[in-house]
Amino acid sequence: MNKKRFFIVNASSGISMILVILIVSVLLLTAIGYFSFKLIQSKKSQTGENQNTPTETTPPKPVYETQIGDIKFKVVSAINLGNTIAATQGWQQDITTTEKFIQVSVGAQNKGKIATRQGSWGFGNIIDSEERQFVDVSDGVYYFLPQPNLCGAPLQPEFDQTLCVRIYEVSKKSKGLKIEVINTITGQGDVLDLNVQ
């Protein structure tokens, strides 16, 4: 009888010991899992903050071409003419400003299937980084523009781009210049960056 009792006591002690070890193991694994999860979450949030920081400070890349409806626009050049447009003919006079003249050339191409009408495309004002708008002064300097100047000319499908040249009077302090381009068929517009040289 004593042996049986001793065996029961030892067996219950062994089972109790196994239960205690199992409970401690489960608690230990739960604690390790919890802290590992928190550590991974902390690293993810730090990585996310690091990835967001450069995109906030990195300026967007300039856009020099766009398509509105069937008409594709592309900035060909933007030239700083300074404060004087020099006369090229004896009967002309120099045109001067206290600010600066910018000559903008934009190409338009019909990517559709039918020809456009006269005046179906063009461009509007120059806008600077402060949202100041500068109007086209080409009418006053018509004889200084290349001829023929095909602004708004009909566009045949998939022909080479047609060039339009305009002159703007812009503040010397203006930076980050953009030009408005317009598809008058759809009534939509967009802005393109100017890399003034």
Residue type, 127: I
Buried b (16+ CB within 10 A) or exposed e, 134-152: bebbbeebeebbeeeebbb
pLDDT at 37 over 90: no
Domain boundary among 58, 82, 101: 58
Q: With bands split at pLDDT 50, 70 and 90, how would you rate the model's confidence at 10? A: low
Residue 105: both structure tokens together? 């050339």
Same domain, residue pair 41 and 78: no
Same domain, residue pair 30 and 94: no
Q: How far apart are the first and last CA of the chain?
A: 108
Q: What is the mean pLDDT of residues 11-28?
A: 72
* Cis amide linkage into residue 148, ω under 30° from 0: yes
Buried b (16+ CB within 10 A) or exposed e, 47-60: eeeeeeeeeeeeee
Same domain, residue pair 35 and 101: no
| Look-up of token digits 């045949």 | 156
Same domain, residue pair 90 and 133: yes
Q: Return the higher-pLDDT residue of 104 and 146.
A: 104
Q: Give the domain range for residue 18.
A: 1-58
Residue pair 168/126 in contact by the 8 Å Cβ criterion? yes
Same domain, residue pair 83 and 23: no
Domain boundary among 38, 58, 78: 58
Q: What is the mean pLDDT of residues 154-173?
A: 94
Same domain, residue pair 175 and 78: yes
Same domain, residue pair 128 and 47: no
pLDDT digits (tens, 9 = 90+) for 177-195: 999 999 998 899 999 999 9
Residue pair 64/75 in contact by the 8 Å Cβ criterion? yes
Interatomic CA distance for residues 3 and 143, integer angstroms:
123
CATH number at residue 185: 2.60.40.1240
pLDDT digits (tens, 9 = 90+) for 44-76: 766 665 555 555 678 889 999 999 999 999 999
Same domain, residue pair 77 and 146: yes
Same domain, residue pair 105 and 185: yes
Same domain, residue pair 44 and 80: no
Interatomic CA distance for residues 93 and 132, integer angstroms:
29
Same domain, residue pair 72 and 152: yes
Same domain, residue pair 7 and 47: yes
**What residue ranges in 24-94 does DSSP mark as E strands?**
65-68, 71-85
The tally of domains found in the chain comes to: 2
pLDDT at 31 over 80: no
pTM above 0.85, yes or no: no
